[in-house]
Amino acid sequence: MTFRLYDTATREVRDFVPLQEGRAGLYVCGLTVQSEPHVGHVRSGVNFDVLQRWLRHLGYDVTFIRNVTDIDDKILTKSAEQGRPWFNLAYAMHRELDRAYAALNVAPPTYEPAATGHVPEMVELIADLIDRGHAYAAEDGSGDVYFDVRSWSSYGELTHQGIDDMEPATDADPRGKRDPRDFALWKGWKQESEPETASWPSPWGRGRPGWHIECSAMAGKYLGPAFDIHGGGVDLRFPHHENEQAQSRAAGRPFASYWMHNAWITTAGEKMSKSLGNSLTIPNVLEDYRGIELRYYLVAAHYRSHVEFSHQALEEAAVGFRRIELFLERAGVTEAGDLPQAFVDAMNDDLGTPAAVAVLFDVVREGNRADDATPYAGQVLAMLDVLGLNPADPAWAGGRGQQDDKLKSAVDALVAGLLDERAKARDAKDWARADAIRDQIKQAGIEVEDTPTGPKWSID
């Protein structure tokens, strides 16, 4: 079976046929770095990381571009509220995002371009659009430049909407727009309310980029006028992706062949909006769960399915994942084997991670049943590698590894004496004494279990 994926534009699962054999160009809309990343934000990071890994597994030479939007209205508003420069806020949140990705073993993309670093490319594209008659400088002297949606007959094709069916933007300032649905390519500098540092020179006066233009410009720069896959969250379909496609194609660039959109994580049935507070920020969640457990929770759901976040569900997922880890520990295998065909089929079917995870557990069970778990453990490792969930991956060590080791050997020394005593009691069939010692250790939060190779302890 070849790799198939659901294309939002055609609303069907299609065979993946790259523009160039053996190569895959992937552009994903990253985040606007304006607040601490929460669980919902990193979902797309994890989802597209799995895509990237799978494409690589399939042998593609992948160029993966994931941008960062480091200038926009919200960044300006928030930084003003916090009394610090916008670039300070954006950079701080960018670093926070990097930490979150690292904690979840989201591999860095090939390149992570930032909007502010690509103003010349945007200006070039905007000028081209004006030349072609698809954009115009606002006549009200605001310095804005708008895309003329009426000039582009296939506007709305990505989201299958007709211009006249769209709700006129009541909240947006119509300013110098010819049609209320025209969107900003360039935003003139508002001297009275915006810092000069948030403006760049352009043929239309100082200003800053509109939201959508950056992605068209950067995708074009790093992936060329046509590339394979464009991804992002469902909310970006409209207007962001619709506009990206319109302005790119209006400039004569074919743009993306496939569109992939990941679904939301909701809390209490509601969109996990940035205004809901910070209880589910990555640093907060990682106080209670390991990164690998959170990643497993995110990978176990299909990328196009809503996930209703709950601590109970995350807890259950973590328990389930530990089952896999325990199996690997017991097997003591470190060499990855081959992927089971059922796993490959699941992944090829639009990244069917839920079915893939089911295969994972099937193999764990078979391995637990078998006399020799080695071949099964090898398969499990191979599957975990593809999903970015291999516990042995150094990415999970974080900065705590060394201290954990020291702690472990200290506890080991303390527990060893007690276990020794317990062994003597057991030899003498003094079960009461043996159980008392085990209880005593458990009081300290350490679980003792007897295995064929002797007792083992683990932190509860």
Identify residues 286-315 at the interface with RNA (CB under 7 A).
300-302, 305-308, 310, 312-313
C-alpha Rg value of the chain to the nearest Å: 27
Q: Is 435 in the site for RNA (CB under 7 A)?
A: yes
| Residue pair 19/228 in contact by the 8 Å Cβ criterion | yes
Lookup: tokens for 6: 């659901």
Q: Is 44 in the site for RNA (CB under 7 A)?
A: yes
Residues forming a β-bridge with 265: 307
Residues forming a β-bridge with 256: 227
Minimum distance, C-beta of residue 25 to RNA, in the bound complex (Å): 19
Q: Is 171 in the site for RNA (CB under 7 A)?
A: yes
Minimum distance, C-beta of residue 439 to RNA, in the bound complex (Å): 10
Q: Is 160 in the site for RNA (CB under 7 A)?
A: yes
CB closer to RNA out of 269 and 399: 269
- Select from 40-48, 81-89, 217-225, 284-292 the region that touches RNA (CB under 7 A): 40-48
Q: Is 265 in the site for RNA (CB under 7 A)?
A: yes
Out of 100, 184, 215, 292, point to the residue binding RNA (CB under 7 A): 184
Q: Is 161 in the site for RNA (CB under 7 A)?
A: yes
Out of 365, 406, 408, 424, point to the residue binding RNA (CB under 7 A): 365
Residue count at the site for RNA (CB under 7 A)? 93
176 SS3 class: coil
Please provide the DSSP assignment of 146-182 as one string.
EE-GGG-TTTTTTTT--GGGSPP-SSS--TT-SSTT-
For residue 397, give the nearest of 96, 165, 103, 180 by alpha carbon: 103
Lookup: tokens for 168: 């006129």
Minimum distance, C-beta of residue 3 to RNA, in the bound complex (Å): 15
Q: Is 9 in the site for RNA (CB under 7 A)?
A: no
Minimum distance, C-beta of residue 357 to RNA, in the bound complex (Å): 6
| Residue pair 207/187 in contact by the 8 Å Cβ criterion | yes
What is d(CA 221, CA 19) in angstroms, rounded to the nearest whole number? 17
Amino acid letter, residue 317: A
In 161-304 the beta strands, taken as DSSP E runs, fall at 183-188, 207-209, 226-233, 255-262, 265-267, 270-271
| Residue pair 31/217 in contact by the 8 Å Cβ criterion | no
What angle separates helix 291-299 from helix 39-57, to the nearest 10 degrees?
A: 70
Minimum distance, C-beta of residue 304 to RNA, in the bound complex (Å): 7
What string marks each residue from 329 to 348 as x (binds RNA by CB under 7 A) or -? -x------------------
Q: Is 221 in the site for RNA (CB under 7 A)?
A: no
- Select from 15-23, 164-172, 378-386, 408-416 the region that touches RNA (CB under 7 A): 164-172
Q: Is 193 in the site for RNA (CB under 7 A)?
A: no
Q: Is 72 in the site for RNA (CB under 7 A)?
A: yes
Residues in 124-153 that interact with RNA by CB under 7 A: 149
| Residue pair 50/387 in contact by the 8 Å Cβ criterion | yes
Lookup: tokens for 56: 């690589």
Out of 63, 199, 262, 390, point to the residue binding RNA (CB under 7 A): 262
